[in-house]
Structure formats: structure tokens, C-alpha cells
Amino acid sequence: ESIRLEVARYRPGQDAEPVFASYEVPLMPDWAVLDGLTYVKDRLDGTLSFRWSCRMGICGSCGMTVNGEPRLTCGTFLTEYGDGPVRIEPLKGFPVIRDLVVDIEDFLAKLSSVRPWLVREGEELPLTAEYAQTPAQLDAYKQYSMCINCMLCYSACPVYVLDPDFLGPAAIALAQRYNLDSRDMDDRFDVLSQEDAVWGCTFVGECTNACPKHVDPAEAIQRYKLTAALRSVLPWSRR
């Protein structure tokens, strides 16, 4: 038994536009979409380009658009698509470098912009002291620390796709990962309380639907809107 993959092929600067190439791959019960792509690369067409590393939903590098939805291809089984075909495209919202590989520079810059480290007033980095935390203090931010930077939430976000300046779901969830950490002394108000940051979110919630790690970025954003609103009325309040 086999299933047909329709895979977007594109070399910017050389091809006028992306085209779809069809490949028949074995339909095995334990094969993920990524296994199908690997079969194509190993057996049918070695020029196909895509990213992957861990094959176990940890590294976040294998995100692609599968039949219109942003998915981790290592965690999406081919059998989910019945008799097929399975249409595989690069993640929407990002410039394509080649075939299924997208440019992640803008995403990385956004993550860096939220000061993704423990900020301690009056202490130099790197921190050398130990700071004990209770299980409840860990639970306060743990959900937001589960992000694997797969960018599916950006690809699903209708705001980011229309406005690339929008800070976006993962970066705001990352900021909250530190804001809600009992060891952190910042609230990242200067970065987060901007029109292109939390106030740009229209609370569609597609980021949360797309997240394979249940980080719930939509909740992180709504929660910070409350923090930001309170802070503008009570400037000494934080978090």
C-alpha cells in the first residue's frame, strides 16, 4: 500500500514560483509525514530540502504545513490522511529558503527581544547564587517553559501572517515564562506593552490550537494584557 505526497518545491531566485511534485511512498502504520519525506530524499529525489533533527517532538525543527495546517511532521502519522494525498508545504508566514526550509531569523530576533533570561536587579550575569523554589513557584511558569520553538503558533496566527512586526505568541509566552518566575525581577513591560506586542493580538486562539506542547500562548497573552492594564493604572504593580 502507498500514499501520494504532494510536496512544495521552490528555489527562490531560480524558480518563478513554487510547484508541487508528487511522490508515492509506502503507507506504513508507524510512519510519520517526516518518514515519508525521508523516504523521498533517500530513494526518490535527493534534492528535496527539509529540516529535522530529533524525530521525537523535542527539537522543534520539523514544522511544516500539512494539508493546510501547521504540524510537527515527526508527530503526524501518514495514516491520519486516509488514502491521501498529503500536501506538504513550508510553514506559512516565513520566507522560504528552499523547498520546505524557512528563514527563522525574524523568529529568533523576536525571542531575543523579550530578554529571555532571569533579570536580577543589582546582580551581575551569569548568576552564581542558588535560589530555592517551591513546587508552586515552579508551577507558576512551567507551562510556558515547555515551548520547543517550532514556530507552528506563528504560522497559525492570522495577525503575524498579516503583520510581520507583531511580536507573536511564542515570544510573549517566553516573556511570561520569565515574568512569572519567582527568581526574576523584570516584567518586560517596555517590550510587551506595545501595539505590536500583546495589544496586537486579537485573541483568535489559533496559536494555542496549533501548539504541540500545550503551552497555551493565547492565555499568556491575555494574562499579560491584564498585567499591562493594571500597571498603567497602578505603575508600581508588576505581574
- Residue 89 or 187 having the CB closest to ligand FES: 89
**How far is Cα 5 from Cα 88, in angstroms, rounded to an integer?**
7
Asked if residue 85 has a cis previous peptide bond (ω within 30° of 0), the answer is yes
Which residue stretches of 120-238 are H helix? 135-142, 152-156, 158-162, 169-179, 189-192, 206-210, 217-233
- 151 binds ligand FES per the rule CB under 6 A: no
- Residue 2 or 49 having the CB closest to ligand FES: 49
Q: Looking at 8, 59, 119, 228, which residue binds ligand FES (CB under 6 A)? A: 59
- Residue 156 or 221 having the CB closest to ligand FES: 156
- Residue 154 or 178 having the CB closest to ligand FES: 154
Helices 169-179 and 217-233, axial angle in degrees (round to 10): 60
- 54 binds ligand FES per the rule CB under 6 A: yes
**How far is Cα 16 from Cα 114, in angstroms, rounded to an integer?**
37
**Which of 51, 43, 11 has the alpha carbon at shortest distance from 25?**
43
Consecutive H or E run containing 34? helix 33-39
- Residue 67 or 222 having the CB closest to ligand FES: 67
Q: Looking at 47, 53, 79, 112, which residue binds ligand FES (CB under 6 A)? A: 53
- Report in angstroms how near the CB of residue 74 gets to ligand FES at its nearest: 3
- Residue 57 or 85 having the CB closest to ligand FES: 57
Q: Can you tell me whether residue 20 is helix, strand or coil?
A: strand
DSSP letters, 67-113, are TTEEEEGGGSBGGGGTT--EEEEPPTTS-EEETTEE--HHHHHHHHH
Binding mask 71-90 for ligand FES (x = CB under 6 A): -x-x----------------
Would you say 69 and 153 are in contact if contact means Cβ atoms under 8 Å apart?
A: no
Judged by CB under 6 A, the stretch of 13-21, 60-68, 94-102, 137-145 that binds ligand FES is: 60-68
- Residue 38 or 176 having the CB closest to ligand FES: 38
- 62 binds ligand FES per the rule CB under 6 A: yes
- 49 binds ligand FES per the rule CB under 6 A: no
Judged by CB under 6 A, the stretch of 36-44, 47-55, 116-124, 183-191 that binds ligand FES is: 47-55
**How far is Cα 8 from Cα 114, in angstroms, rounded to an integer?**
34
- 61 binds ligand FES per the rule CB under 6 A: yes
- Report in angstroms how near the CB of residue 160 gets to ligand FES at its nearest: 20
**How far is Cα 216 from Cα 97, in angstroms, rounded to an integer?**
29
> Which residues are near ligand FES by CB under 6 A?
52-55, 57-62, 72, 74
